[in-house]
Chains A and B, each alone.
Chain A
Amino acid sequence: MTAPATTRTPRRTPAERARDLALIATFAALTAACALTSVAFSAVPVPVTLQTFAVLLAGAVLGPWRGTAAIGLYLAVGAAGLPVFAGGTGGLASFAGPSGGYLMAFPFAALVVGLAVRAAGRRGPLGTGVAVAVGVTAATALTYAVGVPVLAARTAMDAAAAWTFNWGFVPFDAVKAALVVVAAPAVLRAFPMLRGARAPRALAPEIAAA
């Protein structure tokens, strides 16, 4: 009964479950806020949202379970018709639309980054940074592998054309992934409690929505 507060208990305490729920919802909201925020790179006329930045960051910072749950929750909120997807859109239309495949790949992208960071264990900022870099690269590749064929099918493009179209996004995705590599270790260092996370015995309910 007098164990120090930081001792790992196999079951998450009510306070931890409340915090997990808050983190999952807050990162779902962060992803929405990022999707609603477009940043104009000075060299390019097209505004780019930070949506994929938030997706990758959720995995890196929250770990595989909570990260996947956060992005699954984000998609569920969007699917419910709320305007949380890039540019203030929402609804099932976004899933049915040309870029629906990318959306559907997002929870898995967060999962991949989270697994990479967990596999690296507790290392210094540099080690964590490397793990995040590996994770975001794999996750981005996974997103393309799902998103591009769906894009091709929905718009009746051939696969090669769809990949060409996709190449237009690669530089932006690279910048956003790099931002995650810089930001995630700093956030994890500022909040060590985030690393104390392990898969709860019963998964967070939000995962089911993914």
Chain B
Amino acid sequence: MSRVRVATPLGLHIPGTSVVHRAPAGLKLALLAALGTVVAFVREPLPALGLLGFVAATWLLARLPLRALRQVRGVAVLLVALGAFRWWAAGPGAAVGMVAGLSAVVLAAAVVTATTPTDEIVAVLVRGLRALARVPLLGRVVVPESFALAVALVLRTVPTLLDVAQGARDAARARGVRGPRAWLLPTLLRTVGHAVRTGEAIHARGLLDTARTS
């Protein structure tokens, strides 16, 4: 366990003015969910390629730069591996059908992510939670306002934790200690410490106080 690689940090939204950028976030997420559902049932190569072509057209319509593709690298590797397996097990047609279908969904997700600001996506989720909160029993459990805060907090915290881990790895290296235990545990302890201080900040800024009353 010597080499550690960190994938793309957050911040995949790429501002723009295209039709895709301007489309409501809720609509885009709904279409993405619909596409995912359709692809789950598509096995034939031609319809799958058709879907992929449709998504690729959306990509062009949004005029996204190539760097928006960074986010799909990981899944691309998995898809190639599974595609190779499928080719071997069931022939090229089945392999193309599966890889094209799944690629369509993955690419569509990349398009939605790149064209929609985070807060709009969160606003959609909060609207969904508001609807849930009106359901009699769930209403006691769901607090949409603090959910939005929690989502933003996750986005804010990921880079911090990547820094914390990097710092812990550097410290371990400086002391000549190797292996994950030398940096993993310090990282975890600092992570919990960070969470405790963040809790103090949430409390001091009175954020849950207003979530409650509004």
Indicate with 1 or 0, residue by residue over B1-23, a CB within 8 angstroms of chain A CB atoms: 11111111110100000000000
Is B194 engaged at the interface, CB distance under 8 Å to the other chain? yes
From the candidates B3, B122, B189, B194, name the one contacting A80 in the complex (CB within 8 A).
Answer: B122
Specify the chain B residue showing the minimal Cβ separation from A20. B199
Q: Which of A178-199 contact B (CB under 8 A)?
A: 179, 182-183, 186-187, 190-191, 193-194
Shortest CB–CB separation between residue A52 and chain B, in angstroms? 14
Q: How many interface residues does chain A have, given as a range? A: 35 or more
Give the residue among B10, B122, B154, B191 with the most A Cβ atoms within 10 A. Answer: B154
| In contact, A89 and B74 (Cβ under 8 angstroms) | yes
For residue B72, which residues in chain A have a CB less than 8 angstroms away from its CB? 89
A187-B192, A202-B141 known; A91-B113 Cβ under 8 A = yes
| In contact, A21 and B154 (Cβ under 8 angstroms) | no
Shortest CB–CB separation between residue B145 and chain A, in angstroms? 8
| In contact, B150 and A25 (Cβ under 8 angstroms) | yes
Specify the chain B residue showing the minimal Cβ separation from A40. B3
CA distance A186 to B191 in the complex (A): 13
Q: Which of B10-56 contact A (CB under 8 A)?
A: 10, 12, 29, 32-33, 36-37, 39-40, 43
For residue A18, which residues in chain B have a CB less than 8 angstroms away from its CB? 199-200, 202-203, 207-208
| In contact, A83 and B141 (Cβ under 8 angstroms) | no
Indicate with 1 or 0, residue by residue over B101-141, a CB within 8 angstroms of chain A CB atoms: 01001101110110010100110110001001000001011
CA distance A40 to B5 in the complex (A): 8
From the candidates B122, B188, B208, name the one contacting A183 in the complex (CB within 8 A).
Answer: B188
| In contact, B158 and A21 (Cβ under 8 angstroms) | no
Is B170 engaged at the interface, CB distance under 8 Å to the other chain? no
Shortest CB–CB separation between residue B66 and chain A, in angstroms? 15
Give the residue among A87, A182, A194 with the most B Cβ atoms within 10 A. Answer: A87
CA distance A206 to B148 in the complex (A): 10
Q: Which of A12-48 contact B (CB under 8 A)?
A: 14-15, 17-30, 32-33, 36-42, 47
For residue B196, which residues in chain A have a CB less than 8 angstroms away from its CB? 19, 22-23, 191, 193
From the candidates A24, A37, A39, name the one contacting B150 in the complex (CB within 8 A).
Answer: A24
For residue A209, which residues in chain B have a CB less than 8 angstroms away from its CB? 125, 129, 147
| In contact, A208 and B129 (Cβ under 8 angstroms) | yes
Specify the chain A residue showing the minimal Cβ separation from B203. A18
Select the stretch in A93-101, A108-116, A137-145 that faces chain B: A93-101
Shortest CB–CB separation between residue B78 and chain A, in angstroms? 7
Is B151 engaged at the interface, CB distance under 8 Å to the other chain? yes
CA distance A121 to B124 in the complex (A): 40
| In contact, A19 and B199 (Cβ under 8 angstroms) | yes
Q: For the complex of A and B, list the 7 residue pairs with the smallest distance between their C-beta atoms, beginning with the closest.
A: A87-B74, A91-B109, A19-B199, A96-B36, A29-B157, A22-B199, A26-B195
Given contacts A18-B199, A97-B105, 15 further A-B contacts (CB under 8 A): A19-B196, A23-B195, A29-B161, A30-B188, A37-B7, A39-B1, A40-B1, A73-B147, A76-B151, A87-B77, A91-B109, A165-B85, A183-B185, A203-B141, A208-B142
